[in-house]
C-alpha cells in the first residue's frame, strides 16, 4: 500500500508518498480502507522544527482524521465489510489502509460524504470536549476566539445548539460574515471594543489578555503557548485542553452534522500524490 511519510523536520517537501506494509488486524480491531483524511494545524506543527510537537522517529505517518470503508472485522463486531466509517486516529491516518480499534470507530451516514466526514473528528471532538470543560451555565456568555478556524467554527455552532449565548472573535471584518451564518449573538474583531464574557474558548493564542474575560471567569485554550500568570490570577480557572479519543463524542458530532446542526467546511480536495501542494495550501 501507499502511505504519506514525513522523512525529516521541514516544510511540505519532507512529506513523501512511499510504499509501506499493510497493517495486520488484531482482535477488536477493524481494517479500514481510507478514502479521505485531512490536514490539521497539529500536523504542520509536528513537521516544523523547534515546536513543542515532536516526532519520535522517522519516517512517520501523520494525520488524525479518517473516513473510509470497512474491509474486515471480527464476526461479532458491530461493523462489517462495506460499512462507511469515520474515526479520530492520531498520528497515522495518511495511509491507504488502517487497523483501528472498534471502540474508536463510528459509522458514517450515507448523507455525509467522505471528504466532509474527514473534517469532523479532531476539530469537532476538540470543540465538544473543551466546551464540556468550561461547565457553562445557561445564563453565562461565551466568547470563541479564532471563530473562523476549524475548531473555533465547530465550537461556535455546538455552543449555539446547546442554547448558550455565543460571540466570536475574528481577525478581520471580512471574516465576520463566515461566523454570522451560524447565528451567533455577535462577532468582533481585534480592532473593536470587546465586552467581558463569563467564559472564553481560545483557539487563537490570546493568553495574555484579560480585558474580555470577567474577573473570576473561565478559559480553556487549545493553543500550545503558555498561559500568562496574569490571566491565571484573573480567572477562576485557565487551562489547556488536550483532546482524547472518545467514541460517544465523535458519534454526537456525526449526529449533529447529519441533523444539519453542524456545518462542515472543505476548502479543497487533493489526491495523496498532491500532499506537498496540499500542505503548502494549509500552511
Residue pLDDT, tens place only, 19-53:
999 999 999 999 999 999 999 999 999 999 999 89
pLDDT of residue 40: 95
Reported as a single tens digit per residue, the pLDDT across 236-253 is 999 999 999 999 999 999
Read off the pLDDT of residues 41-93 as tens digits, 9 standing for 90 and up: 999 999 999 998 999 999 999 999 999 999 999 999 999 999 999 999 998 99
Q: How confident is the model at residue 187 (pLDDT cuts 50, 70, 90)?
A: very high
- DSSP letter at 175 equals H
> Tell me: the pLDDT tens digits for 255-272?
999 999 999 999 999 999
* The predicted structure's pLDDT at residue 194: 95
CA-based R_g, the chain, Å: 19
DSSP state of 103: G
Task: Select from 38, 108, 2 the least CA-distant residue to 268.
Answer: 38
Q: Indicate the pLDDT class of residue 190, thresholds 50, 70 and 90.
A: confident
Q: What is the pLDDT of residues 97-129, one digit of tens each?
A: 999 999 999 999 999 999 999 999 999 999 999
**Cis peptide leading into residue 79 (ω within 30°):** no
Q: For residues 170-193, give the mean pLDDT.
A: 92
Q: Tell me: the pLDDT tens digits for 130-175?
A: 999 999 999 999 999 999 999 999 999 999 999 999 999 999 998 9
> Can you give the pTM of this predicted structure?
0.95
State residue 243's pLDDT score.
96
Residue 83 CA: distances (Å) to CA of 6, 67, 141, 193:
30, 11, 41, 50
Amino acid at each position: 500500500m501507499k502511505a504519506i511519510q514525513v522523512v525529516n523536520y521541514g516544510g511540505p517537501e519532507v512529506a513523501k508518498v512511499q510504499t509501506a506494509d499493510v497493517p495486520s488486524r488484531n482482535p477488536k480491531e477493524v481494517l479500514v480502507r481510507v478514502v479521505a483524511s485531512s490536514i490539521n494545524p497539529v500536523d504542520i506543527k509536528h513537521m516544523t522544527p523547534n515546536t513543542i510537537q515532536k516526532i519520535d522517529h522517522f519516517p512517520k505517518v501523520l494525520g488524525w482524521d479518517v473516513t473510509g470503508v470497512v474491509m474486515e472485522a471480527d464476526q461479532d463486531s458491530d461493523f462489517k465489510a462495506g460499512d462507511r466509517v469515520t474515526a479520530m486516529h492520531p498520528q497515522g491516518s495518511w495511509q491507504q489502509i488502517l487497523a483501528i480499534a472498534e471502540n474508536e470507530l463510528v459509522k458514517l451516514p450515507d448523507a455525509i460524504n467522505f471528504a466532509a466526514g474527514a473534517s469532523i473528528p479532531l476539530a469537532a471532538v476538540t470543540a465538544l470536549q473543551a466546551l464540556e470543560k468550561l461547565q457553562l451555565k445557561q445564563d453565562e456568555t461565551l466568547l470563541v476566539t479564532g471563530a473562523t478556524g476549524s475548531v473555533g467554527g465547530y465550537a461556535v455552532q455546538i455552543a449555539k445548539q446547546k442554547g448558550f449565548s455565543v460571540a466570536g472573535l475574528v481577525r478581520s471584518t471580512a471574516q465576520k460574515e463566515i461566523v454570522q451564518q451560524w447565528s451567533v449573538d455577535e462577532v468582533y474583531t481585534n480592532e473593536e471594543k470587546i465586552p467581558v464574557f463569563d467564559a472564553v474558548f481560545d483557539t487563537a493564542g490570546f493568553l495574555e489578555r484579560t480585558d474580555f474575560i470577567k474577573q473570576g471567569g473561565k478559559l480553556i485554550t487549545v493553543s500550545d503557548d503558555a498561559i500568562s500568570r496574569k490571566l491565571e490570577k484573573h480567572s477562576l480557572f485557565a487551562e489547556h485542553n488536550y483532546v482524547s479519543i472518545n467514541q460517544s463524542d465523535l458519534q454526537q458530532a456525526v449526529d449533529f452534522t447529519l441533523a444539519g446542526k453542524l456545518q462542515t467546511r472543505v476548502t479543497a480536495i487533493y489526491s495523496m500524490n498532491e500532499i506537498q501542494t496540499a500542505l503548502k495550501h494549509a500552511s
